């Protein structure tokens, strides 16, 4: 190899470094690729190119370069870190965890790597190792709110509620988003009068699940609420005027009721869910927003208002019942499902981050807001870990 070739490779390599540090990742990739063409197999070039491709989200290409770099130089900690993150992005949990452990062992002591390692261990159902990764991160810096937050989630999901509460308190103390973390904290405290969720909660939760939400509900969770709620109404064989679908999600209720309705309108807190519902073709219109605002935005009376498995993310329902009563036509119907609260409890916020309601509360709210109870029936809403989650299905009618 000539000195000129080496010098040109160096020039591209250092230019790539400058672009990378400045955040110009496409330019960095071009210079690293030019350097690689001049000096094929150079570990430093392969490693930096692989790290750049990882940052660009080109996971397969990143892994190819990083594997080659580490074969030549297994002590390159940044290459191990990028390899771990790339494999994590491709759901290669075991390989990702191995690479992340190597990076940490070589001194890459970043909270983000410990969080990624914990995630990979958790996806392999290695709960103890997942928790250990978070504890190791906190030994290095006990002020990391995201680590405390993830520790709280892990402990909450494994039923260690007191320790989960301590983790959420630490997350709040060190600057975690306050509204969400107060909600998480309340979910592990079994409060007698739990507060409503923060406005951002439901939208943020379901935006990330919209693409596979419907298949997950129907195939894995055996989601029964829309069919159970609407089956009695469909069996009547009568047309319904305007139907409002609260928390419409991807449009499961809309598709069922649309054939016998003059019009169906929906609302959901998730942008992604709204797009899926609109694409279903079952709705005259779908609004992004909160259900109370949606109900109050128009005076056009509705003949049916349906809310399938929505109030588990709402909590207290007094305001909802008032808004529904105001919007329903005389004799209009209100059909909804809720999770069933434990005996002696009217309202619970559970560690699942879902609310549960009692039959007695439904009956009191119905009486207070002018509804006649047509039926309240117990039944499964969905499955979790192969076990049915029991709920109440309610059919109410607004007094004429």
Q: Is residue 199 part of a domain?
A: no
Position 221 pLDDT exceeds 90: no
Cα–Cα dist 288/169, whole Å: 32
Cα–Cα dist 370/376, whole Å: 16
SS3 305: strand
Is 156 in the same domain as 12?
yes
SS3 66: helix
What would the pLDDT profile of 53-81 be if each residue is shown by its tens digit?
999 999 999 999 999 999 999 999 999 99
SS3 333: strand
Q: Is residue 195 part of a domain?
A: no
Single residue among 156, 187, 218 that ends a domain in this structure:
187
**What's the total number of domains in the chain?**
2
Is 215 in the same domain as 290?
yes
Q: Where are the alpha helices (DSSP H) in 269-399?
A: 271-280, 291-296, 318-327, 359-368
Is 285 in the same domain as 176?
no
Among 73-82, 126-135, 364-373, 386-395, which is the least confidently predicted range? Answer: 386-395
Single residue among 187, 214, 249 that ends a domain in this structure:
187
Single residue among 123, 156, 187 that ends a domain in this structure:
187
SS3 143: coil
Is 109 in the same domain as 14?
yes
Among 13-17, 201-205, 374-378, which is the least confidently predicted range? Answer: 201-205
Residue 182, pLDDT score: 96
Q: Is residue 192 part of a domain?
A: no
Q: Where are the alpha helices (DSSP H) in 158-209?
A: 161-173, 178-187, 200-207
CATH number (domain holding residue 255): 3.40.50.150
CB atoms within 10 A of CB 147: 27
Q: How many CA atoms lie within 13 A of 290 on its CB side?
A: 14
Helix (H) / strand (E) element for 13: namely helix 3-21
Cα–Cα dist 280/14, whole Å: 52
Q: Is residue 88 part of a domain?
A: yes
Q: Are strands 328-340 and 302-307 parallel, antiparallel or unpaired?
A: parallel
Measuring CA to CA, which residue among 115, 165, 103 is closest to residue 141?
115
Is 222 in the same domain as 359?
yes
Q: Is residue 32 part of a domain?
A: yes
Residue 206, pLDDT score: 55
Domain that holds residue 392: 205-398
Measuring CA to CA, which residue among 15, 57, 54, 49 is closest to residue 33?
49
CATH number (domain holding residue 88): 1.25.40.10
Residue 217, pLDDT score: 43
Is 226 in the same domain as 155?
no
Is 147 in the same domain as 214?
no
What would the pLDDT profile of 243-281 be if each residue is shown by its tens digit?
999 999 989 999 999 999 999 999 999 888 899 999 999
Residue 218, pLDDT score: 40
Q: Which two tokens stand for residue 210?
A: 């919209």
What would the pLDDT profile of 150-166 be if each residue is shown by its tens digit?
999 999 999 999 999 99
What percentage of the chain exceeds 90 in pLDDT?
86
Is 209 in the same domain as 165?
no
pTM over 0.85: yes
């Amino acid at each position: 190899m000539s000195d000129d070739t080496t010098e040109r490779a160096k020039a591209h390599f250092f230019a790539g470094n400058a672009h990378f540090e400045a955040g110009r990742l496409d330019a960095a990739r071009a210079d690293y690729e030019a350097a690689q063409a001049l000096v094929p197999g150079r570990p430093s070039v392969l490693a930096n190119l692989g790290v750049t491709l990882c940052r660009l989200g080109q996971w397969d290409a990143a892994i190819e370069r990083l594997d080659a770099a580490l074969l030549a130089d297994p002590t390159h900690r940044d290459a191990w870190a990028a390899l771990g993150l790339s494999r994590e992005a491709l759901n290669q949990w075991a390989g990702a965890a191995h690479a992340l452990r190597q990076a940490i062992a070589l001194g890459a002591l970043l909270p983000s790597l410990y969080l990624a390692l914990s995630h990979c261990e958790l996806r392999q159902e290695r709960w103890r190792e997942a928790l250990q990764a978070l504890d190791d991160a906190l030994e290095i810096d006990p002020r990391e709110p995201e680590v405390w937050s993830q520790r709280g989630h892990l402990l909450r999901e494994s039923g260690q509620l007191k320790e989960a509460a301590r983790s959420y308190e630490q997350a709040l103390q060190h600057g975690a988003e306050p509204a969400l973390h107060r909600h998480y904290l309340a979910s592990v405290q079994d409060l007698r009068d739990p507060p409503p969720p923060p406005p951002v909660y439901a939208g943020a939760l379901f935006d990330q699940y919209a693409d596979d939400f419907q298949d997950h509900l129907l195939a894995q969770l055996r989601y029964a609420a829309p069919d159970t709620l609407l089956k009695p109404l469909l069996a009547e064989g009568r047309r319904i005027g305007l139907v409002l679908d609260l928390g419409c999600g991807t449009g499961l209720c809309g598709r069922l009721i649309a054939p016998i309705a003059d019009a169906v309108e929906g609302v959901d807190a998730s942008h992604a869910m709204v797009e899926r519902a609109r694409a279903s073709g079952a709705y005259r219109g779908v609004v992004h927003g909160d259900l109370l605002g949606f109900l109050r935005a128009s005076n056009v009376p509705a003949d049916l208002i349906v809310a399938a498995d929505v109030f588990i993310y709402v909590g207290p329902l007094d305001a909802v019942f008032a808004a529904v009563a105001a919007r329903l036509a005389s004799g209009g119907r209100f059909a909804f499902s809720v999770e069933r609260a434990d005996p002696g409890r009217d309202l619970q916020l559970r560690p699942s981050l879902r609310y549960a309601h009692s039959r007695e509360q439904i009956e009191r709210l119905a009486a207070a807001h002018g509804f006649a109870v047509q039926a309240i029936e117990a039944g499964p809403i969905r499955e979790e870990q192969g076990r049915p989650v029991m709920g109440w299905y309610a059919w109410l009618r607004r007094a004429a």
